[in-house]
Structure 1
């Protein structure tokens, strides 16, 4: 049966057309519904910031429209003894840090890649891997899952799709492909227009960001080398709502002088570029607002080399040495390729074809909506550095600090269900947030005060110098005075000869931290994933061994159980 579709030129709005197509799909699918049994599908997700979880739930919502029996499970809560009895398993997972699995997938990942994983000859699977090509271990976790399923005898029902940060098109490719294979297998009919039929989102979102007025913007540091801005934005009239623990997505603009230098060094003059929406814009505007000119990675350099006569790039690509790639890409931007390794592009469209889309940056929200209705606050570390004779900076941080005056940055709320305060306000909370990692904990404290939560609060904060880098000092002291913040431990790494960090203070206070855990405390970490978060994790293991009397193995099991019980949550980047 052919299911009719409303033509795009029909006299309906996109929202009306989407509703009518959905209605027709359900009507005709019902009229010719298959008589066979529904196809069982188990969707598993590994998610650090919520993207994989959101896609998993979106896929299940679509599966429910067809002849499927879908289930969705957080990999941290999934009963892995079920795996050998599953029929169809779809995995959506991100990768973070140095090629590591997301926190909620870490235990499953270790077990699945270990010797105790069962044979899976009766199982069919497919994997969608989310990643970022700016990192060397692109999609590593998803690749490892995909490889291991095959090693254990499972049948790949659709090839793995590796997605960069712009995951909408890869998700559509993968989910449509998976449904196309699953549907005939069980006699099921695929939902109208495939799994990833466009869903019309009402209101403001990532695809339709809200132009937010900046209400306040100032440096929290009192001199010195560091620069950390407190930024208050208006959500008035947006309809956007957030919870503490969420992030705010901000769409930046590239610096105009750099764009103009790029244009001056191209082998063609100007031109226009067609955006995904179909709109044609001048190349200059496209480079300012729509394409990433601030980072280099292996993929871009390979594409550039194919159009460049540079002997150096040719040898770099031919050697394909990881260290050589890292050394070349570090501290360089697109302007370095344009000026130092000219390439032969014929027009604007060909030029932007090698570039990535300019992505929004996510910042942990530093406010409670109960304390600041109609507003959202950020704590942004401004990145500036000099390399290869050029002054450079973080694209979004310098946009917010230097170039956003008179503009209304496009913003959206990014929900993060994996970083929430305890539902029970009497639960004690320990927070570790050095530097800008303090952002969500300012929000936590505001929320705990606004809701009159009775649970004790303990904050570990750190930065280089107490005189210049004590972010939110007055507010934290006020929280101490009114009883909201029961304990504040600060680590100033450069105020004395021997460096002191938050993890050092944790070990020093290990006995009391262990007692808090016995009293049911929840433990939160926000900040740098590469070093700080790993050192804090190691400190937790040490505390469990020293003050809980546990062996290394039992201490690891204790920390793992904290994660499973949602008592050890991390917002790391």
Structure 2
């Protein structure tokens, strides 16, 4: 029986290198148990290097890449996972065998940590050759955004092929439930690579995944039934919005989280909407139907709790449809992710959210956001719903508490920055804090106003700039305030400030990014290319982070 070798802590390796080597040697012994004794040198030289590269905005692609790297090591590969922001095209050529996993965000954009790599392989006539690279792409997306579904992965796949890389298996495009497809894709890719001629092992430090809350205890597949503690209106009378402060209890769960993480919430569809859909399709609400995972339930119950129906609301069928065809065309109802708006240090055994209830009329029909109105209207205080934590390592406070922090979060984008400020206050972090907050009107829409003003009074919040767009004839937004404060903002950046954005990806985040480029050019005296390089370096050093949706 083989014993897993341990590289001693006194050995001249970093913690990551030591962990990678331990896994590498363990893989050799596991293979040797069935193949007979082999020498370490000959086994090492025959291992195939495998780079699993990831472009990740919310952490899904990163977590998956690290998990697959561990699985690949168990299958005899010298595997490592690495973010695209740490790679150059030459790294792919050197390691030869590459599996690339990337998500899509915004309007078909690359994740933040993939933009520098994408730019490197799109250099107008100077793009590198990737001949000799064997690759495959797993694209993560959301079918609710049909026009841009998995677009980043599709573009990456096509570009790698254009540059001479050889596709070992076809790209796989995944919806939000990606586990099964990812397993099939990775298994096929491992098999395809294993049949290729052996290449020389390239020893490089692996990115080692730390255990997360999803790996033990309550998870997405086994959510914690969290009681609702609070549902408070954050807007005052006369507002055009309905924003809620939502609080859940974590007592007895053993769960914890870090500021910057997201909370996954299991929700239900509105019964009134379900009844209107059933009536429009002339279906029997009591007819038994199959559930997405297992079991059966009456149609009405299945539509309330198990299937996505947003695309059906207000749709009047032209032709009758059978019950089996109706159910066969539906997707599984997915939990929703919300940026966490609290710090455990300020609220032990609680987790808070800032949720804008979506309600609007279209073509004479009332529409409701599934999750937002479930939390705002349909989940009674004290009742439970399933929750889990989604680790967001891409959105973290600076490791050095002395570093300044600039936060841009209009509307419900204030959520993670309330958490950041609670954390910085609770830990006594000495770094300066600057918040840009905006909404429609100061008198009705200044979310968490009392707490924010108190932070200013106490000096926790060094500077506050607000932009209430409807309080004057000319609309003013957070990016307007940024440009007005360009000189001081540039000074903070030069002091090493970390810059954060949370909120709408399609408009606000793009406008803020444009303003940031302008500020670096005007206040920093840089050209457009120099400003772009400055921001690329900020992203690489985790000083420019976005939580956008």
Q: Give TM-score, length-normalised by structure 2.
A: 0.87
Specify whether residues 261 and 69 from structure 1 end up closer, same or farther in structure 2 by C-alpha distance, changes over 3 A only. same
2:314 paired residue among 323, 336, 354: 336
Per-residue deviation, 1:350: 3.2
Is the aligned partner of 1:169 residue 2:180?
A: yes
- Corresponding residue SS for 1:96: coil
Is the aligned partner of 1:293 residue 2:309?
A: yes
1:120 paired residue among 130, 136, 161: 130
Per-residue deviation, 1:185: 2.8
The question of whether the paired residues in 2 share the 8 Å contact of 1:252 and 1:289 is answered with yes
Q: In the alignment, which residue of structure 1 is the partner of 2:165?
A: 154
Specify whether residues 285 and 109 from structure 1 end up closer, same or farther in structure 2 by C-alpha distance, changes over 3 A only. same
2:148 paired residue among 137, 155, 163: 137
Per-residue deviation, 1:80: 3.4
Specify whether residues 138 and 542 from structure 1 end up closer, same or farther in structure 2 by C-alpha distance, changes over 3 A only. same
Is the aligned partner of 1:227 residue 2:236?
A: no
Is the aligned partner of 1:103 residue 2:101?
A: no
String of CA shifts for 1:21-78, please: whole Å, max 9, x gaps: xx9x996873137967111100110000001111101101111111100111111122
Equivalent residues in 2 for 1:417-566 (5 A)? 417-566=393-542
Equivalent residues in 2 for 1:183-332 (5 A)? 183-185=194-196, 201-223=215-237, 224-266=239-281, 268-269=283-284, 270-294=286-310, 296=311
Is the aligned partner of 1:30 residue 2:33?
A: yes
Distance of 2:31 and 2:506 partners within structure 1: 52
- Corresponding residue SS for 1:185: coil
Distance of 2:64 and 2:197 partners within structure 1: 23
1:381 paired residue among 335, 356, 368: 356
The question of whether the paired residues in 2 share the 8 Å contact of 1:89 and 1:126 is answered with yes
* Greater CA drift, 553-562 or 417-426: 553-562
Distance of 1:157 and 1:343 partners within structure 2: 44
String of CA shifts for 1:284-326, please: whole Å, max 9, x gaps: 22111111001x3xxxxxxxxxxxxxxxxxxxxxxxxxxxxxx
Distance of 1:65 and 1:359 partners within structure 2: 32
Per-residue deviation, 1:109: 1.0
Distance of 2:370 and 2:450 partners within structure 1: 30
The question of whether the paired residues in 1 share the 8 Å contact of 2:438 and 2:466 is answered with yes
The question of whether the paired residues in 2 share the 8 Å contact of 1:84 and 1:118 is answered with no
The question of whether the paired residues in 2 share the 8 Å contact of 1:124 and 1:155 is answered with yes
Q: In the alignment, which residue of structure 1 is the partner of 2:23?
A: none
Distance of 2:499 and 2:319 partners within structure 1: 51
Q: Give TM-score, length-normalised by structure 1.
A: 0.84
String of CA shifts for 1:222-273, please: whole Å, max 9, x gaps: 1211110001101111122110000001111001122122223435534323
1:50 paired residue among 59, 66, 78: 59
The question of whether the paired residues in 1 share the 8 Å contact of 2:140 and 2:176 is answered with yes
Per-residue deviation, 1:479: 0.9
Distance of 2:283 and 2:300 partners within structure 1: 13
Per-residue deviation, 1:341: 2.8
Distance of 1:153 and 1:351 partners within structure 2: 44
1:399 paired residue among 354, 360, 374: 374
- Corresponding residue SS for 1:559: helix
The question of whether the paired residues in 2 share the 8 Å contact of 1:95 and 1:142 is answered with yes
String of CA shifts for 1:447-502, please: whole Å, max 9, x gaps: 00111100010100000100000000000011112211111110110101111111
Distance of 1:268 and 1:501 partners within structure 2: 48
* Greater CA drift, 163-172 or 268-277: 268-277
* Greater CA drift, 441-450 or 166-175: 166-175
How many equivalent residue pairs? 498
Per-residue deviation, 1:436: 0.4
The question of whether the paired residues in 2 share the 8 Å contact of 1:234 and 1:374 is answered with yes
Which runs of no fewer than 5 residues in structure 1 stay unpaired? Answer: 1-22, 189-199, 297-333
Q: In the alignment, which residue of structure 2 is the partner of 1:81?
A: 90
The question of whether the paired residues in 2 share the 8 Å contact of 1:465 and 1:492 is answered with yes
String of CA shifts for 1:500-528, please: whole Å, max 9, x gaps: 11101100100000111111111111001
* Greater CA drift, 136-145 or 464-473: 136-145
Specify whether residues 28 and 510 from structure 1 end up closer, same or farther in structure 2 by C-alpha distance, changes over 3 A only. closer
Distance of 1:446 and 1:238 partners within structure 2: 22
Distance of 2:231 and 2:29 partners within structure 1: 50
* Greater CA drift, 487-496 or 400-409: 400-409
The question of whether the paired residues in 1 share the 8 Å contact of 2:89 and 2:130 is answered with no
Is the aligned partner of 1:414 residue 2:390?
A: yes
- Corresponding residue SS for 2:69: helix
Distance of 1:76 and 1:395 partners within structure 2: 35
